[in-house]
């Protein structure tokens, strides 16, 4: 493998890793608020891309399709929390997890009925002329994806550390019962977490669609890789989710170059199993609080 090839795989891995990181962050946000794994997370990313394609095809400008998709997926995520999660908050974790699994099938079926079985795409945000860096090439859309990830990570860290409501969200993540006793509205934190997850997922879906075709079935694979990234970084740790996403993306890309492209999707499964066996809490193992 030449240096140029190695650099090309790194660029590809960083692009994929950005999407995995944003998907993993969605898992983390919902887990911190409710202690459940939202298995419809990948489908929210898929809906973001598909809705943007639909809005763009209906005549909306690209930026309008982006904002419209984010708004619609936020409504979907909030509606899901209201209809399926909130009534089950006192029914136990298992019931809520089953609800998220059911939602994933509902979202996929709805996407198939609305947009069909064929994969769709969007035009790149700033042209498709590749940029040359160190002998490797980078499409401009990659810079949008990576840039969005950096902006979201920085904004979230500022929100959690500087804002009063952000500190309330962190308090619920550590111990929801104590947070409620201090007067924090747990229900507001939960619905905010789902809304934020919907926004981040939609943004990720729209950003990746010009690079990788989006279909109704894309959410399952994105969800699995996002979950693997969240587990690798440490479920419940937003920084760990980002770290896990980039590591998974880069390892996956190098695996394509060193081993075979046929094993690309299997790499995430292998990493997930290794993490579960060797270090279940992940690299930055967040301490799980009592949510009472």
Tens digits of per-residue pLDDT, 118-134?
Answer: 888 999 888 778 888 77
> Of the candidates 277, 219, 275, which has an alpha carbon nearest to the alpha carbon of residue 101?
219
Side-chain-facing half-sphere of 258: CA atoms under 13 Å:
9
Identify the pLDDT of residue 113.
Answer: 93
User: What are the two backbone dihedrals, phi and then psi, of residue 281, each rounded to the nearest 5 degrees?
Assistant: -85, -5
Distance, CA of 283 to CA of 243 (rounded, Å):
9
> Of the candidates 195, 175, 196, 194, which has an alpha carbon nearest to the alpha carbon of residue 184?
175
So what CATH class is 3-278? mainly alpha
| Contact present, 211 and 139 (Cβ < 8 Å) | yes
Report the C-alpha dihedral over residues 216, 218, 220, 221, rounded to 10 degrees. Answer: 170
Give the number of other Cβ atoms within 10 Å of residue 188's Cβ: 13
Identify the pLDDT of residue 289.
Answer: 42
Which two structure tokens, joined as six digits, stand for 128? Answer: 């498709």
User: What are the two backbone dihedrals, phi and then psi, of residue 290, each rounded to the nearest 5 degrees?
Assistant: -95, 120
Distance, CA of 100 to CA of 37 (rounded, Å):
8
Side-chain-facing half-sphere of 228: CA atoms under 13 Å:
25
Tens digits of per-residue pLDDT, 17-73?
A: 988 999 999 898 888 888 888 899 999 999 999 999 999 999 999 999 999 999 999
Identify the pLDDT of residue 290.
Answer: 43
| Contact present, 149 and 21 (Cβ < 8 Å) | yes
Q: Degrees (nearest 5) of the Cα angle 277, 31, 237? A: 65
Paired sense of beta strands 131-133 and 136-138, if any? antiparallel
Low-confidence stretches of the chain (pLDDT beneath 70): 1, 260-263, 285-292
Look up residue 118 and give its DSSP letter: S
């Amino acid at each position: 493998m030449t240096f140029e090839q190695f650099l090309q795989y790194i660029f590809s891995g960083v692009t994929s890793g950005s999407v995995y990181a944003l998907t993993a962050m969605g898992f983390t946000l919902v887990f911190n608020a409710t202690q459940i794994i939202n298995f419809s997370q990948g489908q929210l990313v898929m809906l973001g891309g598909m809705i943007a394609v639909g809005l763009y095809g209906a005549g909306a400008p690209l930026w309008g399709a982006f904002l419209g998709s984010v708004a619609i997926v936020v409504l979907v995520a909030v509606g899901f929390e209201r209809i399926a999660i909130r009534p089950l908050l006192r029914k136990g974790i298992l019931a809520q997890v089953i609800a998220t699994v059911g939602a994933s099938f509902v979202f996929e079926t709805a996407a198939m009925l609305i947009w069909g079985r064929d994969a769709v795409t969007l035009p790149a945000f700033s042209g498709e002329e590749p940029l040359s860096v160190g002998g490797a090439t980078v499409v401009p859309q990659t810079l949008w994806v990576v840039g969005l990830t950096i902006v979201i990570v920085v904004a979230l860290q500022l929100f959690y550390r500087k804002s009063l409501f952000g500190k309330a969200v962190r308090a619920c993540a550590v111990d929801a019962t104590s947070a409620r006793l201090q007067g924090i509205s747990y229900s507001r934190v939960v619905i905010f977490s789902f809304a934020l997850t919907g926004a981040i997922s939609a943004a990720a879906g729209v950003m990746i669609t010009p690079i990788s075709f989006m279909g109704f079935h894309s959410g399952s694979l994105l969800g699995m890789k996002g979950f693997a990234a969240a587990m690798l970084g440490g479920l419940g740790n937003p920084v760990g989710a980002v770290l896990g996403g980039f590591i998974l993306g880069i390892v996956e890309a190098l695996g394509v170059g060193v081993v075979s492209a046929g094993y690309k999707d299997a790499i995430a499964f292998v990493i997930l199993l290794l993490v579960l066996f060797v270090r279940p809490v992940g690299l930055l193992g967040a301490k799980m609080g009592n949510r009472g």
